[in-house]
Amino acid sequence: MVLGLAVIAVVMWLQLRTPPLPQLPATISLPEGQTAEAVTFGRNLLAVVTDAGEILVYNRDGSLQQRVTLDQPAQ
């Protein structure tokens, strides 16, 4: 019974530990006046959604690869 509890504790510890977060490149800079609302890490890129309705796609070295302007819904 003690062994069963130990196994359960180890399995829970392995499943609940926090994975390390990816590192942000030090050279990323957003356009002036914009702030990040969301950041998504890909295998070889980083995508930042800004409050101005843009998605900025950066390479791992921090250089801007693509800029996508989102359609704003009518209010």
Tokens 């959604």: give the residue: 49
pLDDT, one tens digit per residue, over 40-54 is: 988 889 999 999 999
Q: Is the pLDDT of residue 75 over 70?
A: no
Question: Residue ranges per domain, the chain?
Answer: 25-75
| CATH code reported for the domain at 25-75 | 2.40.10.360
Read off the tokens for 26: 């030090």
pLDDT, one tens digit per residue, over 54-68 is: 999 999 888 999 999
Q: DSSP assignment, residue 75?
A: -
Label each residue of 5-71 as H, E or C.
HHHHHHHHHHHHCCCCCCCCCCCCCCCCCCCEEEEEECCCEEEEEECCCEEEEEECCCCEEEEEECC
- pTM higher than 0.75 for the full model? no
How high is the pLDDT of residue 43?
85
Q: Is the pLDDT of residue 26 over 80?
A: no
